């Protein structure tokens, strides 16, 4: 890696980037480790066990616990990076949605005085995290910007990344503390399908629909508010697009006809909050020139 090669870029496995791109930019991505029932699953762009995790949840309805990257995992990466550099930029999934960010900060304390580790909370996940990491890698590769300026530019992107979703089950949202027991009980009785947004890194149930098609309408309405969409991705709990996802894609293509809209299976961090029956989208809003 040329240019600013003395700064090692580190992220977690939910950052959605092709493996070739991670290699090109010299990025280290630590796998997400999740447990459901008595099984453990690892996930990054080379180990796509999130699909098996989602299948497990559909049958067992087990809670999902995010176990790693652990502090020891981060310590090992920081130690290895020290052979090449004493400067590291770590961009991770929202600290409010998993322990990953906290674990990195715990590990970084052991390296105070030995190296300069900058840890940035992306306040997002998956596609959003991938966008930030990709841009950071590009800026570091150029080599003409100081690290504080790279961090400033990445922070400037965060408010333009939007993640919204719907869930057709309430038990996972309840377990993650986003609903009270009474809200979950009443919601289940009324067959509520909540509309959820990630705001400032937190997953917030905003509206509740009693019909799944109305919940889908909310996703379309949300996307239609943007005059300039630079990237648009649908995420769901299956590898192959479901009928619901294809319906959403058809409607989004009318809103943003010039934007490619891939459909992907979501990662363990999202699964831990909405379970195996969710559907959502990521919108990255471009700037007016």
Q: Could you state, in order of their start, the residue ranges of all structural domains in the chain? A: 7-159, 160-285
Strands (E), the chain: 7-12, 28-30, 32-36, 39-43, 64-68, 87-92, 116-121, 161-167, 193-199, 202-209, 229-236, 263-265, 278-285
Mean pLDDT of 54-60: 93
Fold of 7-159: Rossmann fold (3.40.50)
Pairwise CA distance, residues 125 & 278, whole Å: 15
How sure is the predictor about 207, in pLDDT bands with cuts at 50, 70 and 90?
low
Whole-number average pLDDT of the chain? 88
Mean pLDDT of 190-214: 70
Q: Which contacts (CB < 8 Å, 24+ apart) does range 135-140 have?
A: 136/9, 136/89, 136/91, 137/9, 137/21, 137/24, 137/25, 137/26, 137/27, 138/25, 139/4, 140/1, 140/3, 140/4, 140/5, 140/7, 140/9, 140/25, 140/89
How sure is the predictor about 155, in pLDDT bands with cuts at 50, 70 and 90?
very high
In three-state form (DSSP H/G/I as H, E/B as E, the rest C), the secondary structure along 109-166 is: HCCCCCCEEEEEECCCCHHHHHHHHHHHHHHHHHCCCCHHHHHHHHHHHHHHEEEEEE
How sure is the predictor about 173, in pLDDT bands with cuts at 50, 70 and 90?
low
- Asked which of 20-34, 202-216, 272-286 is least confident by mean pLDDT, the reply is 202-216
| pLDDT over 50 (residue 181) | no
Say what the pLDDT of residue 257 is. Answer: 94
| pLDDT over 90 (residue 65) | yes
Pairwise CA distance, residues 28 & 13, whole Å: 9
| pLDDT over 50 (residue 186) | no
For the 160-285 domain, the top CATH level (class) is alpha beta
Element (H, E) at 252: helix 243-255
pLDDT digits (tens, 9 = 90+) for 75-104: 999 999 999 999 999 999 999 999 999 999
Say what the pLDDT of residue 54 is. Answer: 94
Residue 210 CB: number of other CB atoms within 10 A?
11
């Amino acid at each position: 890696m040329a240019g600013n090669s003395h700064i090692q870029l580190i992220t977690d496995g939910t950052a959605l980037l092709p493996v070739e791109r991670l290699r090109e930019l010299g990025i280290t991505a630590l796998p997400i480790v999740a447990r459901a029932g008595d099984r453990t699953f690892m996930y990054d762009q080379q180990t796509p066990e999130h699909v098996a995790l989602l299948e497990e949840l559909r049958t067992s309805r087990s809670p999902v616990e995010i176990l790693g990257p652990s502090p020891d995992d981060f310590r090992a990466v920081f130690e290895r990076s020290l052979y090449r550099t004493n400067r590291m930029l770590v961009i991770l999934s929202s600290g409010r949605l998993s322990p990953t960010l906290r674990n990195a900060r715990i590990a970084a304390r052991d390296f105070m005085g030995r190296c300069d580790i900058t840890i940035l909370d992306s306040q997002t996940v998956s596609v959003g995290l991938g966008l930030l990491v990709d841009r950071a890698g590009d800026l570091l590769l150029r080599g003409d910007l100081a690290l504080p300026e790279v961090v400033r530019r990445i922070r400037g992107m965060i408010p333009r990344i939007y993640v919204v979703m719907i869930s057709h089950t309430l038990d996972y949202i309840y377990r993650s503390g986003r609903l009270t027991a009474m809200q979950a009980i009443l919601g289940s009785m009324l067959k509520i399908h909540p509309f959820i947004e990630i705001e400032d890194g937190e997953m917030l149930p905003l509206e509740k629909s009693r019909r799944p098609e109305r919940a889908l309408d909310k996703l379309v309405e949300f996307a239609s508010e943007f005059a300039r969409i630079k990237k648009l991705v649908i995420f769901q709990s299956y590898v192959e697009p479901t009928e619901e996802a294809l319906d959403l894609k058809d409607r989004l293509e009318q809103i943003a006809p010039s934007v490619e809209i891939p459909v992907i299976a979501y990662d363990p961090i999202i699964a831990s909050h909405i379970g195996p029956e969710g559907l959502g989208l990521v919108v990255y809003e471009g700037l007016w020139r």
